[in-house]
Amino acid sequence: MKKSLSETRNLLKVVHDLRTKCPWDKKQTHKTLAKYLLEEAYETVDAIRSDKSESLKEELGDVLLQVALHAEIASEKKRFNFEDVAKHISHKMIRRHPHIYAKQKVLDYKAHQKNWTALKQKEKPKRRLLEGTPKGLPALQLAQRYGEIASSVGFDWSHPEPVMKKVFEELKELQLVVKTRRKDKLEEELGDLLFSLTSLARHFHIDAEASLRKSAAKFKRRLENIEVAKKKENKTLVECSSQELEAAWQLSKAKLKRKRS
Q: 244-253, pLDDT tens digit by residue? A: 999 999 999 9
Give dist(CA 38, CA 75) in Å, integer.
22
Average pLDDT over residues 194-220: 94
**Which pLDDT belongs to residue 2?**
53
Helix (H) or strand (E) holding 153: none
Total number of residues shown for the chain: 261
In 3D space, the residue among 58, 65, 25 whose CA is nearest the CA of residue 44 turns out to be 58
Burial of 67 (0-12, 13-18, 19+ CB in 10 A): middle
Average pLDDT over residues 147-172: 93
What ranges do the domains of the chain cover? 2-94, 139-206, 210-260
Burial of 152 (0-12, 13-18, 19+ CB in 10 A): buried
- With beta carbons less than 8 A apart as the criterion, state whether 46 and 60 touch: no
Q: Is there a common fold for 2-94 and 139-206?
A: yes
**Which pLDDT belongs to residue 74?**
97
- Assign a CATH topology to domain 2-94: Helix Hairpins (1.10.287)
Q: Is the pLDDT of residue 118 over 90?
A: no
**Which pLDDT belongs to residue 5?**
82
Q: Is the pLDDT of residue 181 over 60?
A: yes
**Which pLDDT belongs to residue 106?**
65
The overall average pLDDT reported for the chain is: 90
**Which pLDDT belongs to residue 1?**
54
Query: Which has more pLDDT, 120 or 251?
Result: 251
**Which pLDDT belongs to residue 105?**
75
Q: Is the pLDDT of residue 256 over 70?
A: yes
Confidence band, pLDDT 50/70/90 cuts, at residue 165: very high
Total-model pTM? 0.65
- With beta carbons less than 8 A apart as the criterion, state whether 173 and 192 touch: yes
Give dist(CA 186, CA 127) in Å, integer.
33
**Which pLDDT belongs to residue 77?**
95
Is CATH 1.10.287.1080 what the domain over 139-206 is classified as, yes or no?
A: yes
Burial string for 28-40 (b: 16+ CB within 10 Å, else e) reads beeeeeeeebeeb
Give dist(CA 198, CA 193) in Å, integer.
9
Give dist(CA 107, CA 113) in Å, integer.
9
**Which pLDDT belongs to residue 129?**
83
Burial string for 167-201 (b: 16+ CB within 10 Å, else e) reads beebeebbeebeeeeeeeeeeebeebbbbbbbbbb
Q: What is the CA radius of gyration of the chain?
A: 25
Q: 19-53, pLDDT tens digit by residue? A: 999 999 999 999 999 999 989 998 998 899 889 99
Average pLDDT over residues 51-62: 95
Q: Is the pLDDT of residue 158 over 60?
A: yes
Give dist(CA 56, CA 34) in Å, integer.
21
